[in-house]
Amino acid sequence: MSNIIVVFPKKEIATNIRNILVRSGFDVLAVTTTGAQALHYVDTLDDGVIVCGYRLSDMMYSDIRDYLPDSFQLLLIASADKWGDGLEEGVVGLPMPIKVYDLVNTLEMILQTMRRRRKKRREALKNRDPKQREIINQAKGLLMERNGMTEEEAHRYLQKNSMDTGTSMIETAQMILTIMSE
């Protein structure tokens, strides 16, 4: 499933882009007018794509990118002179005026790249050795015991912290064991 969030300061523009994407076969999770609303949705997801304009009512596209975990991509739709100097990592740009064909193909390319990354992560999870699995299970057990989490919530907590800090799940589990054992 693709987690697509459309963010533009004008609701009509955001709705039009959502309609184009839906007609092209994409599932759009949310349409918002502020970066804060978009980031609220991001907090509940593992990965996805934000389609946005250059300037929103509460922040710039670069501010949103700074708050996004690495598992999210940002598709910037703006005039080429706004990002002619280049874009930072995790941002793909489409020049205005936008062509439906370009929007659909670019988004499909981004989603395909994300699916490949997700598949690699799953394969890496399957290839963990028993010692690494035990460290993760110990950290989950500690989170379940001390914070009253279910196993699924503890696993999600480890995943989210791992993505937010840019560390592996093993390193995150070891940090939790170190911090909570003191």
pLDDT at 84: 66
pLDDT at 176 > cutoff 90: no
Q: How far apart are CA 93 and CA 52, in angstroms?
A: 10
Q: Where are the beta strands (DSSP E) in the chain?
A: 4-7, 28-32, 48-52, 72-78, 91-95
pLDDT, tens digit, 9 for 90 and up, residues 119-163? 887 777 667 778 888 888 899 998 888 888 888 888 888 888 888
59-63, 69-73, 159-163 — most confident range: 59-63
Q: How far is CA 83 from CA 58, 73, 88, 101, 171, in A?
A: 19, 16, 10, 21, 36
pLDDT at 81: 83
SS3 7: strand
Q: What percent of the chain has pLDDT over 90?
A: 38
Q: Which residues pair with 6 in a beta bridge?
A: 31, 51
pLDDT at 38: 92
- Taken in order of first residue, the domains within the chain and their CATH numbers are 4-124 (3.40.50.2300), 128-181 (1.10.10.10)
pLDDT at 59 > cutoff 60: yes
Half-sphere exposure of 4 (CA within 13 A, CB side): 25
Average pLDDT, the chain: 87
Q: Which residues pair with 60 in a beta bridge?
A: 55
User: Is residue 69 reached through a cis peptide bond, with omega within 30 degrees of 0 on the bond before it?
Assistant: no
For the ranges 54-58, 136-140, 167-171, 178-182, which has the lowest average pLDDT?
178-182
pLDDT, tens digit, 9 for 90 and up, residues 78-101? 988 877 677 777 788 899 888 999
pLDDT at 23 > cutoff 90: yes
SS3 19: helix
CA 91 to chain centre: 12
What is the CB neighbour count within 10 angstroms for residue 128? 14
In which band, very low, low, confident or very high, does the pLDDT at 1 lie, cut at 50, 70 and 90? low
Edge-first strand order for the sheet with 4-7 is: 28-32, 4-7, 48-52, 72-78, 91-95
